[in-house]
Chain A
Amino acid sequence: MRRAILVLVILCGIAPRAGAQTVWTDRGYVTISGDFRVSPMSFAGVTHPVVFVETATVTTTYDVQPAPGVDGGVGVRVWRNLGVGANVSWIARSSTGSIAAQIPHPFVFNKPRAVSGESGGLDHDETSVHLQAIWMIPSGPRWSIAIVGGPSWITVNQSIVSDVTVLSPYPYDTATYSNAVSARESKGRLGFNVGGDLTWHLGPRAGVGFGIIYSHATVPFSAATGDTVTVTAGGTRVNGGLRVRF
């Protein structure tokens, strides 16, 4: 949250002020942007598959890298400078999993073998629907600033690691990581968004804008083992694209 507030302060700080028109007179706007999630994300999940009639522990730290995406939005003015809008964004990011596991021994209890490894190609994509309250601050004929915020519904598709396969020759006292066993799961959860958008109006209708939005939701997944893996979704997203007023 502290990052989001900082963003707003920056936007306000760069907005032109002198002789500015301060009343929003448009009926609304439409945006189409390319965006980029700038914040890497990391979250961890622990699963407990049963291996050799004993419970294993598989801890996966998921690192989701920054990646491009797209979004579009629409907003309408409802009263003076206040409007409401909706924004839809989609982003697909590559995620890797750093795996540390304790795999039971086949012949004796309580003699787990420690293995670790990396699993690439764990899918992670997010489709977010942001409902937003908008406070539009026109600043002369060329500039306007929108401050937005509201609830978000973030749907995450994520490959959840539930187990690992290992290579282990007799006497099976040691093992080395081979592969991750993962399944792609999909789930949505309510979160929030807050951000701002700076538009430079090229003409009476069209303009270009740059925005920054922070959104956040925690999405609990149920792994194949029955364990819950909570995925952190959202993050800081910068975008730029077309702004159309009507």
Chain B
Amino acid sequence: MRHFLTAALLFTLVSTSALAQGRVTALSATSASPTDLRAWDQEIDQMVRAGELRFREAARDPLLGDRRHERFDQYIRGVRIFGGDLTRQTASDLTVSLFGMIHSGIDIDTTPRLTPEAARTSIGGAGGGTPIGDPELVVLPLSDGYHLAYYGRVAAPLDQVSVFVDAGSGAVLRQYSEFISEIVAGKGIYGDDKKVSASTSGGARVASDTMRPGPITTYDMKGDFARMTNVLNGFTPVAPSDVASTAGVTWTDPVVVDGHVYAGWYYDYLFKRFGRSGIDNNNLRIALFTHPVKLADINTAPANVVGLYYINAFFCSTCGPNGRGAIVLGEGAPKNYFGPGIEVKPFAAALDVVAHELTHAVTASSARLNGFPFSEAGALNEAFSDVIGVGAAFYYEPPGNAALQASYVQGRDLTVPPAVIGRNLANPGPANPDHYTKRIIGGDPHYNGVILGHAFYLAIEGGTNKTSGLAVQGVGAANREQIEKSFFRALTSLLPSSSTFALVRVATIQAARDLYGSGSPAERAITQAWDAVGVQARTDPTATLLPDPAQPYTGVCNGMATPHWLLYVTVSAGSSNLRVTQWKWDDHSSAEYGNSAALRLTGTNSGAQFAAAFTGCGPGSDRLVAQSDACALFCADLLGDASGSTQITFTAVDDAGRTLTFATPRVTLLPR
């Protein structure tokens, strides 16, 4: 109370500053100077009577019961002066204080040449959205003088913008975002404390990050699946109400907290680790959609919806509010839905998963590795997302195997218990391939991509590949930055859109050489890692036969004796185009069943038969383009013998007319 009285006794302060076509007076009159206060009070009353000041609102003082506060706006010839207003504090009808900005001597024509309709169009265009209501004609004081302007607000997809346009020409005089940056506390899905970089608009906090050079917006689709799909397909624009928001001082939706925060961390990781400005290196807005479906609807949702919007996250390069990409974070699944005792968390729960999806956006704006189903580039796209996602996790989280700790299991935090649906880059098998020969041509790109992921792991941590037995001397976890940078450089600067594993090998080695020098530990580690996972420059044709060893196949293979084995054969062209002229298999039985370990069955097929059979990963042909693959699925038997081995040998002619012969490894056919 004493402080208040002291303040009330402050001497009247009136300062003025002249402008080109008028003058603004900063009014501060208090009861400390009763004469000035009285004079200004009378002046205010006179301005009110003259219509130069219009009453806007009044409110009782919440702290001092006898006080009342009034607000007035200043007008000139019926046009509001933007920012020209004052407050009057009264006690028992006696004025206690006056504070305001009063404009005078303004020489301005208040007749607009622009129609309100034209102004509305200009305002909407400037703000990049839909104007809210009709524009207001105002007098706008700027540093160069007073302008007759139209003022309006625009609901942009990602912002709310105030725009002033000249009432004569329609030119934009000034515009600014109504969003104000604010850091809000929140808890993530695992209950951890996080800082949400938000904006304040109209008292609400919205998940629109404007503190980073590249904006990030997180949307809450509130489980409205129809709206989600319409927005993704571009049938419905996102609305400001779609932006996730919270009314409280803390953010209570952990899905939004994690998704928004992890996207921000990923932006920072790109900047700090690689010097990259956002996903497109030009600060393109990052857009995330959360709650695309309702968790409660999972039991009635079609399987494809569950697979896409519940137990999944994805990036769409043409979706989003600006049509330039957005990620959708699946809702997860309740306990026991996915499996006994298994809970699938919302996909925002894992930093490496959010980073994985956002790396797809980086890829889309750099190497553009295409997702053709039979292309290795599709697998490489997933693979780079895996390793950069893991890299982001190690950048922020301590290494370990608990939740919120970084590991080489991509997506480990998605489930409780952990790692049920994760991809293990350190120890891929048997769920994923640890060697190039185990790839499935045309198979799941996530599966095939683990070959690169495992090479990435070996280059950092070192170790021995279980399939090849080759050892790798890694650079060590303390130097993981070298491998991350080499792979990222290859992805964003060196690789073309139709890359192959072989090309990535060369590009990552070159990137390491560029960054750390020829013969550097990084170059050595990456080279050894690619050797270990069986990725070499494809100069000569090769053939693989999987699995090895092969278990007897219990399914039906028409015309085959029992037991029989299901085998997957791949022929890979090297640097030359090939024309397959002949292929021949040699089956041996095992000696323990009374047979000599000798040739049991053999057969030779023509190039035409190759074209007819090898349709597993592309159109059948006896011709094979350089660096491409042909593959087929076979059943094999040993005429009833219980076990043995098999091998296929191919003969082909290359571009130079040379006849080449190459064979698969001999694969063991296990007994039942």
The reply to whether A107 and B185 contact each other, CB–CB distance below 8 Å, is no
The reply to whether B184 and A53 contact each other, CB–CB distance below 8 Å, is yes
**Distance of A54 Cα from B185 Cα, bound (Å):** 9
A14 located at the interface, meaning its Cβ lies under 8 Å from any Cβ of chain B in the complex: no
Chain B, 194-211, CB within 8 A of any chain A CB: 194-195, 197, 211
Contacting chain A: which of B10-18, B264-272, B453-461, B560-568? B264-272
Residues of B within 8 A of A107 (CB): 183, 195, 197, 211, 261, 264-265, 268
B113 located at the interface, meaning its Cβ lies under 8 Å from any Cβ of chain A in the complex: no
0/1 string, B252-270, CB within 8 A of A gives 1: 0000000001001100100
A109 located at the interface, meaning its Cβ lies under 8 Å from any Cβ of chain B in the complex: yes
Select from chain B the residue with minimum beta-carbon distance to A169: B213
0/1 string, B377-401, CB within 8 A of A gives 1: 0000000000000000000100000
Given contacts A53-B183, A106-B183, A107-B264, contact A171 B195 (CB under 8 A): no
Given contacts A107-B264, A170-B213, contact A52 B183 (CB under 8 A): yes
The reply to whether A109 and B195 contact each other, CB–CB distance below 8 Å, is yes
Q: Looking at chain B, what size class is its interface with the partner chain? A: 10 to 19
Question: A53, A106, A109, A173 — which one has the most chain B CB atoms within 10 A of its CB?
Answer: A53
B193 located at the interface, meaning its Cβ lies under 8 Å from any Cβ of chain A in the complex: yes
Q: Looking at chain A, what size class is its interface with the partner chain? A: 10 to 19
Select from chain A the residue with minimum beta-carbon distance to B211: A106
0/1 string, A84-116, CB within 8 A of B gives 1: 000000000000000000000011110000000
Select from chain B the residue with minimum beta-carbon distance to A108: B195
**Distance of A173 Cα from B183 Cα, bound (Å):** 16
Min Cβ gap B285→A in Å is 16
Select from chain A the residue with minimum beta-carbon distance to B184: A53
B212 located at the interface, meaning its Cβ lies under 8 Å from any Cβ of chain A in the complex: yes
Instruction: Choose from A52, A106, A171 the contact partner of B272 (Cβ within 8 Å).
Output: A171
The reply to whether A170 and B183 contact each other, CB–CB distance below 8 Å, is no
Chain A, 159-195, CB within 8 A of any chain B CB: 170-173
- The secondary structure that dominates the B interface is mixed
Residues of B within 8 A of A172 (CB): 211
**Distance of A106 Cα from B183 Cα, bound (Å):** 7
**Distance of A108 Cα from B397 Cα, bound (Å):** 11
**Distance of A173 Cα from B212 Cα, bound (Å):** 13
- The secondary structure that dominates the A interface is loop
Min Cβ gap B433→A in Å is 36
The reply to whether B265 and A109 contact each other, CB–CB distance below 8 Å, is no
Min Cβ gap B434→A in Å is 35
Select from chain B the residue with minimum beta-carbon distance to A110: B193
Min Cβ gap B407→A in Å is 20
Chain A, 21-42, CB within 8 A of any chain B CB: none
**Distance of A108 Cα from B262 Cα, bound (Å):** 11
Min Cβ gap B314→A in Å is 26
The reply to whether A53 and B268 contact each other, CB–CB distance below 8 Å, is no
Instruction: Choose from B193, B271, B396 the contact partner of A171 (Cβ within 8 Å).
Output: B271
Residues of B within 8 A of A109 (CB): 193-195
0/1 string, B161-192, CB within 8 A of A gives 1: 00000000000000000000001110000000
Residues of B within 8 A of A170 (CB): 211-213, 271
Residues of B within 8 A of A108 (CB): 195, 265, 396
Min Cβ gap B126→A in Å is 26
Residues of A within 8 A of B184 (CB): 53
**Distance of A54 Cα from B183 Cα, bound (Å):** 10
Given contacts A171-B268, A171-B272, contact A106 B213 (CB under 8 A): no
**Distance of A172 Cα from B212 Cα, bound (Å):** 10
Select from chain A the residue with minimum beta-carbon distance to B277: A170
**Distance of A106 Cα from B261 Cα, bound (Å):** 11
Residues of B within 8 A of A53 (CB): 183-185, 195
Residues of A within 8 A of B271 (CB): 170-171
Residues of A within 8 A of B261 (CB): 107
**Distance of A172 Cα from B213 Cα, bound (Å):** 12
Question: A107, A108, A109, A171 — which one has the most chain B CB atoms within 10 A of its CB?
Answer: A107
Residues of B within 8 A of A171 (CB): 212, 268, 271-272
Min Cβ gap B396→A in Å is 8
0/1 string, A114-157, CB within 8 A of B gives 1: 00000000000000000000000000000000000000000000
Chain B, 222-264, CB within 8 A of any chain A CB: 261, 264
Given contacts A53-B183, A170-B213, contact A106 B195 (CB under 8 A): yes
Residues of A within 8 A of B197 (CB): 106-107
**Distance of A138 Cα from B433 Cα, bound (Å):** 105
Select from chain A the residue with minimum beta-carbon distance to B250: A53
Min Cβ gap A103→B in Å is 13
**Distance of A170 Cα from B212 Cα, bound (Å):** 7
Residues of B within 8 A of A173 (CB): 272
The 9 nearest A-B residue pairs measured at CB: A53-B185, A52-B183, A171-B268, A106-B183, A53-B183, A107-B195, A109-B193, A170-B213, A171-B272
Give 21 CB contacts A-B under 8 Å.
Answer: A52-B183, A52-B195, A53-B183, A53-B184, A53-B185, A54-B195, A106-B211, A107-B183, A107-B197, A107-B261, A107-B264, A107-B268, A108-B195, A108-B396, A109-B193, A109-B195, A170-B211, A170-B213, A170-B271, A171-B212, A172-B211
Apart from A52-B183, A107-B195: 20 A-B pairs, beta carbons within 8 A: A53-B185, A53-B195, A106-B183, A107-B183, A107-B197, A107-B264, A107-B265, A107-B268, A108-B195, A108-B265, A109-B193, A109-B194, A170-B211, A170-B213, A170-B271, A171-B212, A171-B268, A171-B271, A171-B272, A173-B272
Residue numbers of A with Cβ under 8 A of B are 52-54, 106-109, 170-173
